[in-house]
Each structure stands twice: as structure tokens, then as C-alpha cells.
Amino acid sequence: MNLFLAATGRVYVVSASSSSSVQELIWWDYSGNQYPPLTTTITGNNSNDIFIAGYYSSIRHFNGQNWANISPEIEGETIWSKITAIEDLVVVVGMTGSYQAIIARGHHQ
């Protein structure tokens, strides 16, 4: 289980399971696929700038109202194990389907 505590005092939690979602105590919102990819890691700059990542190369961004898929175009399946964001720089590390380490970085606008 990974936690992100926003400056507003809100707590966001992710856990890798078939029913993964980002939760704020009782509140939850996960727009997107009917069966969302498993989520393994979370980070953010504030409550309207949250990033989650996990299985199937999935990376999503929450702007305080909506979720957007910001997954990089990577061949094959990747499991992201850690994500971090500092202002607009986002870095994820993980493992490919062939058990090779992978690092991706990008800027979010």
C-alpha cells in the first residue's frame, strides 16, 4: 500500500489488487477503463496534481477533477514500481515483461 498526503490534509491510497483505485478516505474516483490496470505506486505535488502508475505500462494523472492517461508508448508490458513527481518532471521506474529494469521520465503540462 502506498500513501500520498496532500497539503490540504487529504490522504490518497493505492494498493495493487484487482479493485485498485485511488481513495480519499470514503471518496473515490477512477474514471477510465471498466477494469483499470493494477495500481502500485502514487505521488503528487498537491491534491490537484496526483500521479499513479502500475501494471500494463499504465500511468495516470489526476488534476483535481479528472483522470488522464499519460502512459508512455513502450513496447511490451511494463510494471511500474515507483513514481515520483517534482513540479512538472515525472520519473517512473519498473520492470519489463522480460525482467529488465526500465526508467522513464517526462514533463507533464
Euclidean distance between CA atoms 82 and 52, whole angstroms: 9
CATH architecture assignment, domain 2-107: 6 Propeller (2.120)
Q: Is the pTM of this model over 0.85?
A: no
pLDDT of 1-60, one tens digit each? 666 666 666 666 665 554 444 444 333 444 444 445 578 888 888 888 989 898 888 898
Residue whose cell numbers read 514533463: 107
Cβ(69)–Cβ(41) below 8 Å: no
Q: How far is Cα 77 from Cα 13, in angstroms, rounded to an integer?
A: 24
69-82: pLDDT as tens digits? 888 888 778 999 99
Give the per-residue SS3 of 43-97.
EEEECCEEEEEECCCCEEEECCCCEEECCCCCCCCEEEEEEEEECCEEEEEEEEC
